[in-house]
Amino acid sequence: MTIKVKISLFLSIVAIILIITVTMLNTGITVHNPVGDMTATVINEVEAYGTDYVYIQNMPSTAEPVVLSEGVNGLDYTYDGLNYVHLSDVKNEVVQVGTGKQGNYSGKLTGYGPDCPGCSKVGNVACRTKEGTNHSLTYDGLYYNDSVYGEVRILAADNSAFPCGTIVKVDNGVLSKFVGIVLDSGSAMRNAWKDGIVWMDLAFSSQAEALTGGATSSNTSFEVQRWGW
């Protein structure tokens, strides 16, 4: 094989290797074009998600809406106006909205421990959980894991006014704002409600901690987010 032929073959190979790269607009996908000077136009099409509302009667109309699941945009693209590719489906956001009676109150907050006078020492609360089990402040803790609101502090209240499972946003001006769940009760709270006074008790690990934990306030805001279970 002559030198000229070898050079020609080498240049041909180089020409094949040095292909033209076409970058698709907006997709971040790079397509290598081995046949020469070709271009392609790619257009992304985003399908925006909507919102589906779930109306709950045991959720106060004054409660903040709850996002049960996040929305996801759908995505498609076309190139050269001929080829269509479906990348992902649209998924609507789902929001829970209350239609029940209003639930905003002002009242008194105090604290208590499982070793309080007249208490069971292990802190067995008055209510059963949604799963139908007993809850001990000593053995199971001061929090309950709610399926919608997550980890929430345990509260005692008058269960005729605030049924077991009631979710409340609490702001006593001393502690950081928190979300609690009514899982306990007490005679002081029941007697106060007879006089039209809202009184809730926040569970602590001991009575000594309850007295120094910053719960006590006579000017507390209670915002019910859900009535009972």
pLDDT at position 26: 43
Task: Give the burial class of 84: count Cβ atoms within 10 A of its Cβ; 0-12 exposed, 13-18 middle, 19 or more buried.
Answer: exposed
CA 166/CA 158 separation, integer angstroms: 11
With a cut of 70, list the residues of the chain below it in pLDDT. Answer: 1-40, 80-81
pLDDT (0 to 100) of residue 180: 98
Q: What is the DSSP letter of 58?
A: E
108-150: pLDDT as tens digits: 999 999 998 878 788 999 999 999 999 999 999 999 999 999 9
Residue 43: the pLDDT is 78
Cα 159–Cα 164–Cα 168 angle in degrees, nearest 5: 90
Among residues 133, 126, 132, 179, which one has the least CA distance to residue 156? 126
Give the type of residue at 98. G
pLDDT value of position 13: 43
Q: What is the pLDDT of residue 158?
A: 98
Q: What is the pLDDT of residue 169?
A: 98
